[in-house]
Each structure stands twice: as C-alpha cells, then as structure tokens.
Amino acid sequence: MIEFSSVEFQHPNGVIALKGIDLTIRSGDVISIVGENGAGKTSLIKHINGLLKPTKGSVSVFGVDTRKESVSALSRNIGIVFQNPSHQLFSESVEDEIRFGMINFGFEEELVAKRLNWALTLFDLERYRTISPMLLSGGEKKRLCFASVLSWDPKVVILDEPTSGQDFLQKENLMNVIKILSSQGKTVIIVTHDIEFIWPLQPRIVVMAGGQIVKDGSAENVLNDEDVLKRARLLKPHLLSLTEGLVVKPREQFSDVYDAKKWLVKTLRG
Amino acid sequence: MQWISQGFVFRHTKSRFHDLDPRVKLLVSVELFILSLLVSSIPKVSIALTGVLIVSFSAKILGRISRSLLYTLMFSIFIFVINLLVGYSPLDSLVIATRFLTIVGSTSIFFLTTPPDELELVMKWFRLPRDLVFAFVTAVRFVPVMMLDALQIMDAQKSRGLELQKGNPYSRLRRFIPVLIPLIVDAVIRSGELAEAMESRAYGAVRNPTSIFRLELKQRDYLLSAVSIVLSVSSVYAFMFVL
C-alpha cells in the first residue's frame, strides 16, 4: 500500500513540482500516471522510493514513512525502470548488469544465479549474456533495464515511459510482462504518454497537470472526459474513437485491435 | 549536488554587471585573478577576497559564488594541510589556501555572469581558431546538461540499491563507478551525435561563416574598465610597496 497525504514538493530552485497530492495505491493495482511534460509525473514516482522527500505532507510505503527510510531500503520493495536506459547501464556484461541490484540487496549467490536466468529468459536476452550492454540496440537496452529491476522481485514495479524506443512487437511483449506481473499480485505503475499502449490493460488512470492530480478513475471513465484530455494534452485512444463512430455498438469496449477486428469481421459478415 | 551545481553554471540574472560587454567582465575577472596571484599575506588576501565578494554582490551572484567557494573549500583545506605537512607555517598555509579560494572566485565571476553566446564572441574577438571556440563553448554549454544527467544516473543507481554515502572515502569513490561510466559513455555518444548533426547542417563548409552578432563597447563599459584598471593598478602598487 502506497499513500500520499497532502504531498507538496518544491525543488531547491523554488519550482513547485507537486501540490496537494492525495493518492492511495493498493497492492496489486495496475495504475497509469499520465499527463504532459512537466506535469509532475516523474516527481511523483520519485517520492515512492524516497529519491525525493515531500516538502509538505507525507508518503507512506507499506506503512513506512519515506522520510525515515533510505532509498536503498525502500528500493528493495520498489523497482523503478527509468526512461533512459543509458542512465543506468555501466557493467562489463549483460549478466553483471542484471546482477548489480541483487548484489546490492545482499542476495545469496544461488538465488542470484536463479533470478538472473529467469530475467534473461523473460526478456529474451540470453544470447547477449556475456556481451557489453553498450553494444545492445535501444530496445534491447530498455529490456535489459526491465530485467535488471525485475530480477530482485520488487513488490511494486514502476515503469517510466516504458514504450519509448520500442517497436510494436516489443510493446506487445512488454504488455504480456505487465500482465504476468499483475497476475502475480504486483503493483504496477506506468508513467506514460502512450495512451494506445495502456488502453488494453484497462488500468486505473491518474491524470496530472501542473503538479496536481486532475482526475483519478477507470480508463474508460477518464479517457471519455474531453476536458481532462484537453487539460492533459492527451488524445482519446483510437479504439475508443472507433467505438464512438460505430452505429452498431459492441456490447463491451474493444480491449485491443485483435478484439476489434474479431467483432468487426463478425458484424460486417452478419 | 544540485545545490552545488548552481554555483558553477550561468543563469540569466538582471544586474548592471551582467549587462556589461563580456570583454569588460573578462577584464575585471582577470584583474582579480592577477591580484589573487600576487597576494602573500593575510591583509593582501583579505583585500583580494573582498574585491571578489564586492563584484559578486554587485552582479547579484553572491549566493551562487558562495556555493562554489564552499565546494572549493574542500580543496582549499586539502591545500592547507599539504602545505603544513611540507613545512610551511600555519599562517603561510592559510594564505596559500585562501589564495586558491580567491582564484576560483575571480574566474567564477566571469563564467557565472557571461552566457555561452557572449563567451563565444569574446573568444572570436581574440581570433582563436573557430573549431577551438566551438569545442570550448559547447563544453561550457553542456555543463548543466551533464549535471542533470549525473543527477538522473545517481537516482537510477540509488534505485537499484547503490548507497553512495556509505563507507570510507575509498569505498565511496568506488561506489561512484556506476555513476561515472554511464555519464562518460553518454557524453561520448552525445558528442558523436552532435558532430554528425553539425556536419549535416554544413558546419565547416566555408572558412569564414557569417557573423550575426558583434561586440560593441558602450560608455558604461569604458567607464567601468577605466575604474577597474585604476583600482587594480593601485592595489598592485599597494601589494608591492605599501602592505
């Protein structure tokens, strides 16, 4: 359980990044934080593992006040995959890069080996095991970052712009990973501009603008609110627009393109 | 770290000193720098340091220069200790250590009050090679970017359990490897990309590219230059023959 109570955060240069944030994230939630650049999304997630401490109010993670705990202690339960992979890759090999977090958290050697193999397989990185992370492509580097964070099995996984630099297939794989994490009862927080990506996941959506939460609700509820979309400079997902344009409406919203295709083919053929 | 970084990068500030011609700002900085080199006693170093602080105050950068001096204080203490160890008296060691602070302060004045564009104009005015000017100015421009990158890398590594503040100085230094490597690799990649982008926009196509901006001295520039030269010459005279 993550709880923000009247959180305000002011940068040292005086810029207020967050104000009046009240937010509760329950264990097992899949939640997406959306909003334009500078809306305060990254500042919000940095409060969860204590990288930023609130200027006013408090943030509690699994009952612990983040102001009273170190980043490394909080990070054992909170894994953040940052937007830019080149900001974290430094090891000599892909496997060393994945081991890094587990070693820092003092995992037993056997467990490190087991989790390393699991992460390499999950993200299709086995063949790169011994090569330098610097030689990987942009998409592969991103997958390596996911693998290195998921390796220590955090209870909460935070993905900052996970789809940037990913092609369609990689996005589908990522979607499957998120579904697996969700089915394992993990809390998944996705910070993104990519509304098309999150729509099939049907997460709870928190919309931010000007350092404040302007809307918090189900995907359908939030993404049908034209005012909120305008304020957060977002576009409605194509599948939602498609449904609106249809004379004969499907019984339920299309969850993804395959679902839409199936329904359209069936309906058009009568 | 962010707090310290503010003491080294240019930020637009409204002050009469900022509005001066960059060559005059350079002149004031160089004069203070020379004075700092000449000091050899506590009264002299106090005068030089006061000069740096007065100019900083008039340029409204006193707070920021204090931060850079605070950071420099670590090196200054190191210099003090080394001088003590090699046999200098505590007073002489103090003068040498404080002189280092004054030297850093005098050079910071120029960089904290001069935007990279003006820096480029000054270097061109000195007829330095264009490639050298471009490389230097680009390096200065990228200081804040690198600072931001460093902060983001530190955040990313701390989120993977890296504790930068724990242990003795040697282990702390070692813990910075996961921060330094991505920072250097990123800088190398960025410089390559920048070079390609510049070449794609015809950098180096002609020997003398069009110069849009020109430096022009105004009355206040002449006035301040004259005042600063008189003050500096008087101070040098006082340092050599009076104090």
pLDDT (tens digit, 9 = 90+) per residue, B147-191? 889 999 999 999 999 988 888 888 888 889 999 999 999 999 889
User: Taking a C-beta distance cutoff of 8 angstroms, is the pair B29, B107 a contact?
Assistant: yes
For residues A55 and A163, membership in a common domain is answered with: yes
User: What mean pLDDT comes out for the span A226-254?
Assistant: 86
pLDDT tens digits for range B20-77 = 999 999 999 999 999 998 888 888 888 899 999 999 999 999 888 888 888 888 899 9
Closest CA to A192 of A149, A234, A254, A139: A234
Average of per-residue pLDDT across A46-72: 94
Range of the domain at A244: 237-270
Count CA within 13 A, CB hemisphere, residue B200: 6
Q: Are residues A39 and A163 in the same domain?
A: yes
Q: What CATH number should be reported for the domain holding residue A220? A: 3.40.50.300
Min Cα distance A203 → chain B (Å) is 24
Identify whether A130 is part of a domain.
Answer: yes
- According to DSSP, the residues that pair with B117 across neighbouring strands are none
Count the alpha carbons within 13 Å of A32 in the hemisphere toward its beta carbon.
26
pLDDT at B2 over 70: no
CB atoms within 10 A of CB B12: 6
Which tokens hold the place of B241? 């023959």
Q: Is B156 on the interface with A (CB under 8 A)?
A: yes
ipTM above 0.85, yes or no: no
**A242 and A108 in a common domain:** no
Residue A86's CB is within 10 A of a number of other CB atoms, namely 21
The answer to the question of residue A5 being in a domain is yes
Pairing of strands A64-65, A56-61: antiparallel
Contacts of A70 in chain B (CB under 8 A): 163
- A205 shares a domain with A145: no
The answer to whether the Cβ–Cβ distance between A86 and B182 falls below 8 Å is: yes
Instruction: Give chain A's domain count.
Output: 3
Question: In Å, how far is A198's CA from the nearest CA of chain B?
Answer: 24
Question: Do residue B155 and residue A76 have CB atoms under 8 angstroms apart?
Answer: no
Contact B163 A70 (CB under 8 A): yes
CB contact under 8 A, B6 and A13: yes
**Same domain membership, residue A144 and residue A168:** no
- Please indicate, yes or no, whether residues A24 and A121 belong to a single structural domain of this protein: no
What are the residues of chain A with a beta carbon less than 8 Å away from any beta carbon of chain B? 12-13, 46, 49, 51, 70-72, 75-76, 78-80, 82, 84, 86-90, 100-101, 104-105, 134, 148-149, 152
Residue A83 lies in a domain: no
For the stretch B10-22, pLDDT in tens is 888 889 999 999 9
| Cross-chain residue pair B159–A148, CB shorter than 8 Å | no
B5 touches chain A (CB under 8 A): no
The span from the CA of B198 to the CA of B178, in Å, is 30
Predicted confidence (pLDDT) per residue in A171-224, tens digit: 888 898 899 999 999 999 999 988 889 988 889 999 999 999 999 999 989 988
Chain A contacts of B159, Cβ < 8 Å?
Answer: 49, 51, 71, 75, 78-80, 82, 149
Alpha carbons B19 and B162: distance in angstroms, whole number: 45
User: Quick one: angle between helices B90-113 and B62-85, nearest 10?
Assistant: 150
Same-domain check for residues A96 and A142: yes
A105 is a domain residue: yes
**pLDDT tens track for A82-93:** 988 888 898 989
Task: Tell me what the mean pLDDT of segment A215-239 comes to.
Answer: 89
Q: What does the pLDDT read at residue A60?
A: 96
Closest residue in A to B156 (Cα) is A88
- Prediction pTM value: 0.77
Judged by a CB distance cut-off of 8 A, whether residue B199 touches chain A is: no
Query: Within the 113-152 window of chain B, which residues sit less than 8 Å (CB to CB) from chain A?
Result: 149, 152
Using the structure block, give the residue that is written with the tokens 């590594």.
B157
Q: pLDDT tier at B142 (50, 70, 90 boundaries)?
A: confident
Q: Cα angle vertex B145, ends B215, A80, to 5°?
A: 165
Q: B189 contacts in A (CB within 8 Å)?
A: 86
